Amino acid sequence: VIDTVGAGDGFAVGVISALLENLDFAEAVQRGNWVGSRAVQSRGDMEGLPTRAELTHHNAQTAPE
């Protein structure tokens, strides 16, 4: 953990974006956890948040087969 600023916002963004994409609640919370964990890996409130491309890549790697 480098900076905790933005962790809660990142979690909320992850959950809300997943729910807007009609993912189920468990998947939404998993996304929220991942986005929040990314937020604490750099200084600042938004610098650590993933881009859409990074999110798409992460989703492809974690999708069930």
The alpha carbon of 35 is separated from its chain's Cα centroid by a whole number of angstroms, namely 2
pLDDT band at 62 (very low <50, low <70, confident <90, very high): confident
Note whether 33 and 11 are within 8 A (CB): yes
Number of H helices, E strands in the chain: 3, 0
Set 3, 9, 24, 45: catalytic member: 9
- Cβ burial of 10 (10 Å; 0-12, 13-18, 19+) is buried
pLDDT of residue 65 exceeding 90, the answer is no
9 is catalytic: yes
pTM: 0.85
Query: Over the stretch 5-59, which tens digit does the pLDDT of each residue have?
Result: 889 999 999 999 999 999 999 999 999 999 999 999 989 888 888 999 998 998 8
Question: pLDDT value at position 37?
Answer: 94
- pLDDT at site 34: 95
